[in-house]
Amino acid sequence: GDSVTQMEGPVTLSEEAFLTINCTYTATGYPSLFWYVQYPGEGLQLLLKATKADDKGSNKGFEATYRKETTSFHLEKGSVQVSDSAVYFCALLGGSEKLVFGKGTKLTVNP
Amino acid sequence: EAGVAQSPRYKIIEKRQSVAFWCNPISGHATLYWYQQILGQGPKLLIQFQNNGVVDDSQLPKDRFSAERLKGVDSTLKIQPAKLEDSAVYLCASSPRGAGGNNEQFFGPGTRLTVL
């Protein structure tokens, strides 16, 4: 079945550092790919998405590119802020039409 | 626009007791989802409604979990009787139509259940 594997956390960075959170997936066909963010005490929010190969999703300085050849959708940000501290989830929507999530990566950014 | 509302935010119960969670989706959203998020894991879909009909409940433990969306608007998820392993955050989400790739799901804040 469909599955998502993302980088184990937690990740701790200093403000203005570069962020990469790796995400790879297994799915039949051509899934849509998503990154969700969960701030402390809040629900999941869609951060960005890509619906086909080579698409780049971007929002709030975060980017991820749908790489079909490597089945990856890594999340990147050039300069993180303290306010980016949250849990980040990679997810896919495949042929089953169910969102399948990774386990989440907790990011802490220190001033 | 008001978001997805859930209540209660927190619930602590003893094992074998019953519990119910409530969700009010975004107005006009036809599809409603209930997810279970166990600590350290990603959310797992329990049940999906399209209006007041069940689209997918393949991962719902039907011996103890039940859910309804009688008027196609708000929904209730019930656990009876609860087990220790049901301790989790229960998330409700809604989307305008079906779960197609261009239909964003909007999540509520969740209900954190602790079973002692």
Write out chain B's pLDDT in tens, 116 residues: 689 999 999 999 999 999 999 999 999 899 999 999 998 889 999 999 998 899 999 999 999 999 999 888 999 999 999 999 999 999 999 988 755 545 788 999 999 999 99
Å from B6 to nearest chain A CA?
10
Name the residue facing B99 among A44, A49, A97 (closest C-beta): A97
Q: What does the alpha-carbon distance between residue B28 and residue B103 come to, in Å, rounded to a whole number?
A: 14
CA dist A14 and B51 (Å) reads 46
| pLDDT, position B72 | 84
CA distance B62 to chain A (A): 19
CA-CA distance, A58 to A76, in Å (whole number)?
9
A30 → chain B, closest CA residue: B101
Contacts of A42 in chain B (CB under 8 A): 109
In the block, residue with structure tokens 């890509």: A50
Q: Which two tokens stand for residue B52?
A: 């007041």
Tell me which residue in A42, A43, A103 faces B41 most closely, judged by beta carbons: A103
Minimum-distance CB partner of B40 among A42, A101, A103: A103
Q: Cα distance from B32 to chain A (closest Cα, Å)? A: 12
User: Which among B4, B107, B20 is positioned nearest to B67, based on CA atoms?
Assistant: B20
CA distance linking residue B109 with residue B10, whole number of Å: 11
- Distance, in Å, from the CA atom of A93 to the CA atom of B74, rounded to the nearest integer, reads 24
Kindly determine whether residue B100 and residue A97, on different chains, have CB atoms separated by under 8 Å. Answer: yes
DSSP 8-state secondary structure symbol assigned to residue B86: G
Q: Is the peptide bond before B8 cis (omega within 30 degrees of 0)?
A: yes
Cross-chain residue pair B42–A103, CB shorter than 8 Å: yes
The residue type found at A37 is V
Smallest CA–CA separation between A82 and chain B, in Å?
22
Q: pLDDT, tens digit, for every residue of A14-59?
A: 999 999 999 999 998 889 999 999 998 888 999 999 999 999 999 9
Which chain B positions have a beta carbon within 8 Å of A46's beta carbon?
104-105
Q: How far is CA B22 from CA A40, A105, B37, B42, B85, in A?
A: 21, 28, 16, 21, 20
Q: Do A99 and B105 touch (CB under 8 A)?
A: yes
